Structure 1
Amino acid sequence: MPIQPDPDAHPFWRFSLDRYGRSGVPPVCLEIQDETGSDVNLLLFGLWLGSEGWCITGAGAARCAEAVAAWHAEIVRPLRAVRRRLKGWQVCPDAPRETLRAGIQKWEIEAERLEQDMLFALYEGLLVAEPALVEADPDRAAAMAGNLDSFAALAPKGKGAAEPRDKLVALCL
């Protein structure tokens, strides 16, 4: 479902819509999510920070992950689970089921946008209150890869493979 970017949205959300809309990006994000248990919004956040020339430290990544963990677990994941469960379920007629599924997907995307709003607000606070948690790095590809590693290391299954990470960085530069 393509989402129309809001010109007034913060730069992280605009970045996410642009990059996730690129061919090849969604399957690589989902591959990393499946391999590590990572939150795709945190992966996109790491990519966006890196694209802006920022490296997030391990402590900064942990702070961000903790800030959105409950929201992601209690709101985003359940909406996703219901949407996925409805796909192809033959308990009711196709048309009404797909209408319901599309509505749930709309709310799932809105929940993800709100999660990104939380991350963007946290980023602004880190730059002001705790600048040591975010460091400048002019090598944007290296910053993006390092940020992905920082967030993947916090995921339930630990670090992800370098191959999908590097592919994702190349697709998002």
Structure 2
Amino acid sequence: MAAPPKFLDYVLRYYAVEGVSKACLALQETYNLDVDLVLFAIWLGAVRQIVLSDENLTSADALVTTWRDQIIRPLRVIRRRLKATGYPFTHTDIEKLYRDVLGAEIFGEKIEIAVLEAHSANWPDHANIDFRDAISANLAKVIGYFGGTPEDAGPQIETLVNATQSI
């Protein structure tokens, strides 16, 4: 039996599925949540059939909150400003800086992904739970944790659950 995909490998394949990035970004914009935590919740449900407990979600978020707030989000703000800017520099200079900041943001997210995977290494897998149910429960928990309701995020949840069948 093949080993289950590592979190980053899974994320790279999953995020390429049509509709996933749009659904994740909609959740990020609506609830100001951490997309890496959303992807973590999906991976735990899809690959390890883990339903997140309140304690597990809280501890995972506590582990990455400072990183997200002091590194990832500021890089995202800078990247977005560069994209929307009218600075008087040459276009190629701004494009290069934009790509460099985007690369730093993505690299920072990869670090967060590695931290989350390591944090969950000793959590027991639950092979007797349907992965779709585990993903739905995990997404509802993450969205609720960030102040949203699963009902309001229904279309995004449906897209994200269905996308797992494409990888």
TM-score range (shorter-chain normalised) is 0.7 to 0.9
Which of residues 119, 142, 149 in structure 2 aligns to 1:159?
149
The CA distance in 2 between the partners of 1:107 and 1:137, in whole Å, is 39
Match of 1:73 in 2: 69
Percent of aligned positions that are identical: 29
Which contiguous aligned blocks of 4+ residues in structure 1 show a shift greater than 2 angstroms? 134-138, 157-160
- How far the C-alpha of 1:136 sits from its partner, in A, is 5.0
RMSD, aligned α-carbons: 1.6
Structure 1: gaps (5+ residues)? 1-9
C-alpha distance in 2 between matches for 1:33 and 1:163: 14
Pairwise CA distance, 1:88: 3.6
- Consecutive unaligned residues of structure 2, counting only runs of 5 or more, are none
- Distance, in Å, in 2 between the alignment partners of 1:56 and 1:21 is 24
- Number of corresponding residues: 157
Q: Bigger shift: 87-96 or 43-52?
A: 87-96
Q: Give 2:133's aligned amino acid.
A: A
CA distance in 2 between partners of 1:39 and 1:18 (Å): 19
Query: Of the candidates 140, 163, 166, which is equivalent to residue 171 of structure 1?
Result: 163
Find the aligned partners of 2:84 and 2:52 in 1 and give their Cα distance. 41
- For residues 24-173 of structure 1, the aligned pairs below 5 Å read 24-52=19-47, 53-91=49-87, 92-125=89-122, 127=123, 131=124, 137-155=128-146, 157-160=147-150, 161-173=153-165
Equivalence for 1:4: none
